[in-house]
Amino acid sequence: MSRNAGRLLLAPSVIVLLAWMIIPLVMTLWFSFEYYNLVNPTLTGFAGWDNYRYLVTDPDFWVSLENTLIILAAVLFVTVVGGTLLAVVFNQNFPGRNIARVLAISPFFVMPTVSALVWKNLLMHPIYGVFGAIARGFGLQPVDWFAQFPLASVIAIVAWEWLPFALLILLTAVQSLDNEQREAARMDGAGVVAQFFFITLPHLSRAISVVIMIETIFLLTVFAEIFVTTSGGPGNATTNLAFLIYARALLQYDVGGASAGGVVAIILANIVAFFLVRSIGRRLEV
């Protein structure tokens, strides 16, 4: 009786959560097969596969998909490599270590919009930015980052935001490493580099897998940094899949086409998550 009563009490919350997830998904799937353009309300009805056909034949879609994968791969590389090295450094004893840890982790708690504004106006601006002032101090021409290197600039901002997350997870994993293993390796003549590659790095493999899985899910939907800094430009140089969906829905008012892009994004995210979960599951079983 108590079990049934518990289920009855949980039922409203479960129903709300299911409705919160399923209703938007069903509506997105429905609109992806409909002609639904807010600028042309007379164009209605069942579209079949036309929205998907238009999406995959649009050059912007393939550019956005390429940019999405580039941002994903570049940010993962920077955060995993940088996070691993910083975790090893911050595991050492040095004056001010606790303050340095707090400062290194702090960027993760800054909102993406605020981070993008800080980088755009205070750091990367060619006239008022810190980087421009440093370049002029050395007698060099300041770089207009978002005009000359737009995608690299977005990657730098996103990597700066996610590096503290990787550092936090990996530092926790480094601290769980048994010191006796490192002492034994040191007594056997292993240097710092050998200890890192043969003891520390294998120990961090599971933590690195978790970092890759969690970051991948979120990096597929990077939006605020692009919206605030480049608005997908110049041209479509920084347009990723998330920004393309936004542009279709709220700039071109093509709800049907945007819904088709949303369905493709959901499928892509689930495929990536499926393989990552399986890979991490194998590692955890070892």
Q: What is the pLDDT of residues 96-114, one digit of tens each?
A: 888 999 899 999 889 999 9
Q: Is there a domain that residue 131 lies in?
A: no
Q: How many domains does the chain have?
A: 1
Across 226-237, average pLDDT: 93
Q: How long, in residues, is the chain?
A: 286
Query: What per-residue confidence (pLDDT) applies to 285?
Result: 60
Residues whose CB is less than 8 angstroms from the CB of residue 177 and which lie 6 or more positions away in sequence, other chains included: 199, 200, 203
Q: Is there a domain that residue 236 lies in?
A: yes
Across 39-47, average pLDDT: 84
Backbone φ and ψ for 257, nearest 5 degrees, come out as -65, -40
Across 219-225, average pLDDT: 93
CATH number at residue 266: 1.10.3720.10
Q: Is there a domain that residue 127 lies in?
A: no
pLDDT tier for residue 273 given thresholds of 50, 70 and 90: confident
Q: Is there a domain that residue 26 lies in?
A: no
Percent of the chain with pLDDT over 90: 54
Residue that wins the pLDDT comparison between 125 and 286: 125
Mean pLDDT of all residues belonging to the chain: 89
pLDDT tier for residue 165 given thresholds of 50, 70 and 90: very high
Q: Is there a domain that residue 6 lies in?
A: no
Q: Is there a domain that residue 204 lies in?
A: yes
Residue type, 60: D
Q: Is there a domain that residue 248 lies in?
A: yes
Distance of CA 219 to the CA centre of its chain: 2
Q: Is there a domain that residue 133 lies in?
A: no
Query: What per-residue confidence (pLDDT) applies to 261?
Result: 93
Residue that wins the pLDDT comparison between 254 and 284: 254
Nearest of 75, 56, 50, 18 to residue 267 by alpha carbon? 56
Helices (H), the chain: 2-31, 50-57, 59-90, 97-105, 112-117, 130-137, 145-148, 150-175, 179-187, 192-195, 201-203, 205-219, 224-229, 241-246, 255-285
Least confident interval from 75-79, 107-111, 146-150, 278-282: 278-282
Query: What per-residue confidence (pLDDT) applies to 195?
Result: 81
pTM, entire model:
0.89
What range does the domain containing 238 cover?
52-110+162-285
How far is 103 from 163, CA to CA, in rounded Å? 12
Query: What per-residue confidence (pLDDT) applies to 80?
Result: 95
